[in-house]
Structure 1
Amino acid sequence: MQHDHASDDTGEVSRENTNRMYIIGLFLAVVLTATSFWAANTSILWSAGVPLGLSVLAIAQMGVHLVFFLHISTGPEDTNKVLALAFGVLIVILVVAGSLWIMTDLNQNMVLPAELMDLHMQH
């Protein structure tokens, strides 16, 4: 039994295009990572602006990963991917915000007032 496969040029072009996307994504990710390390360890930048700069670089890094590695685009065939991503982001935001809210509430309610601390110090 012999299987003849016709050569399909679109498969080869698609594979080359995918490899090119991965290489571009890798290059951008490395550049953004190196820039983040440089920004965090340099004294050239205004120190109050470093956290904002790192946040912008982190968001750009997420965008590179979404587009070049996860292949998420705005096309109609990627609607389910975008909705799943949005739901995941919503869950992460809810968990982080809820944890911060609980920790802040516990911090406010667990600290003894100064008067009670003084009473404990006298005994």
Structure 2
Amino acid sequence: MLAVCSLGLAGMTFIYGPGLPVALVVLAIAQIGIHLVFFLHVATAPHNTDNVMGSAFGMFIVFFVIAGSVWIMNHLNHDMRPM
């Protein structure tokens, strides 16, 4: 349902243009939370510590991959500027 809402928001002029990325990020984070709780059964109960730690480690790795990619692209863009 959230995926359909995201597609609908991106295809229509329902939200002011500069606010559209913020709305899409909010819907994406909500969808991630719903998947973690209802499909992967990640909770904060004492017996689910391994699931929470595994999810945190996965998010840590994804963050560094994305941040490193952006950093590399930024430096490549800076180094490839025309003279």
For the criterion TM > 0.5, the same-fold answer is yes
Of structures 1 and 2, the larger Rg is shown by 1
User: Counterpart in 1 of 2:71?
Assistant: 101
Q: TM-score, normalised by structure 2?
A: 0.92
- Structure 1 ranges of 4+ moved more than 6 A: none
Distance 1:32 1:106 in 2: 35
Q: Identify which of 94, 112, 117 aligns with 2:82.
A: 112
Equivalenced residues, count = 83
In the alignment, structure 1 segments of 5+ residues that lack a partner are 1-30, 114-123
Q: Identify which of 62, 65, 82 aligns with 1:92.
A: 62
Q: CA 1:76–1:102 in structure 2 vs 1: closer, same or farther (change >3 Å)? A: same
Q: TM-score, normalised by structure 1?
A: 0.64
Q: Does 1:53 align with 2:18?
A: no
Structure 1 residue 111, shift from structure 2 partner: 2.2
Q: Percent identity?
A: 47
Relative contact order higher in (CA < 8 Å, ≥ 6 apart): 1
Distance 2:35 2:10 in 1: 21
